[in-house]
């Protein structure tokens, strides 16, 4: 089942966790703010009762963070756009947007062939928006079955991010209660470590 199909079928818990996990994996871009979303995971476990207040706390913590990087600002905007209402449709729209943003952010740090993809919102990134959506819908495949289009194949960061998004939605659909959320959090933490290592290597290379 494609990522888009999984998002369409997910319930409130799966959608909220999927959106939070996408942003969680991008938090290495925000330096010391890597733990800011962790209390929100508990809000997902309790659903409607605690989602809104935990979301408000996370937003406040993110707003006080000193952020100058354009991509990190995008992560903060996505958290600000999260719906306070615990309802499937607003959560689905938000989760879907988080999915796209996370893939585009991973594109920024990935290499496809001999070319580094530009930052989200740039002309280069826009040229690949159809490529991202084809990955999400599963209608294109490159060598060895990796998501891709034409001569381009998804790089390791994008492939890994796409795989984690799919796995998290599958786990939450199949595993009830806290156990499913723990598995989703473990996967997200793994992805966060991967991106943090890439960001650190880029920073060392610049220096």
Token digits of residue 36: 């800011």
3-state SS assignment for residue 153: strand
pLDDT at 121: 39
Residue 101's contacts (CB-CB under 8 Å, 6 or more residues apart) are 22, 26, 74, 75, 78, 120
Model pLDDT for residues 25-55, shown as the tens digit of each residue? 988 776 555 577 888 888 898 888 899 999 9
CB 179 within 8 A of CB 12: no
Model pLDDT for residues 91-116, shown as the tens digit of each residue? 999 999 999 999 888 888 886 533 43
pLDDT at 120: 42
Model pLDDT for residues 121-152, shown as the tens digit of each residue? 333 334 445 667 777 887 545 555 554 444 34
CB 146 within 8 A of CB 159: yes
Token digits of residue 192: 């966060």
Q: What's the residue count for the chain?
A: 207
Residue with tokens 């939450």: 172
Between helix 12-26 and helix 70-80 the angle, nearest 10°, is 160
C-alpha distance from residue 144 to each of 147, 155, 159, 165, 177 (Å):
9, 13, 12, 20, 35
Q: How many CA atoms lie within 13 A of 198 on its CB side?
A: 23
Residue 118's contacts (CB-CB under 8 Å, 6 or more residues apart) are 108, 124, 125
């Amino acid at each position: 089942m494609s990522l888009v199909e999984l998002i369409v079928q997910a319930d409130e818990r799966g959608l909220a966790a999927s959106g939070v996990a996408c942003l969680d994996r991008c938090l290495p871009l925000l330096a010391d703010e890597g733990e800011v979303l962790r209390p929100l995971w508990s809000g997902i476990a309790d659903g409607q009762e605690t989602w809104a207040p935990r979301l408000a706390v996370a937003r406040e913590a993110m707003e006080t963070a000193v952020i100058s990087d354009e991509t990190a600002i995008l992560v903060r905007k996505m958290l600000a756009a999260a719906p306070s209402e615990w309802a499937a449709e607003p959560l689905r729209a938000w989760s879907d947007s988080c999915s796209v943003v996370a893939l585009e952010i991973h594109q920024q740090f990935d290499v496809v062939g001999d070319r580094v993809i530009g930052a989200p919102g740039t002309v280069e990134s826009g040229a690949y928006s159809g490529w991202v959506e084809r990955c999400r819908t599963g209608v294109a495949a490159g060598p060895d079955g990796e998501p891709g289009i034409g001569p381009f194949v998804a790089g390791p960061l994008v492939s890994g991010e796409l795989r984690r998004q799919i796995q998290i939605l599958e786990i939450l659909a199949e595993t009830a209660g806290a156990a499913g959320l723990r598995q989703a959090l473990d996967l997200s933490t793994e992805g966060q470590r991967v991106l943090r290592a890439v960001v650190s290597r880029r920073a060392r290379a610049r220096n």
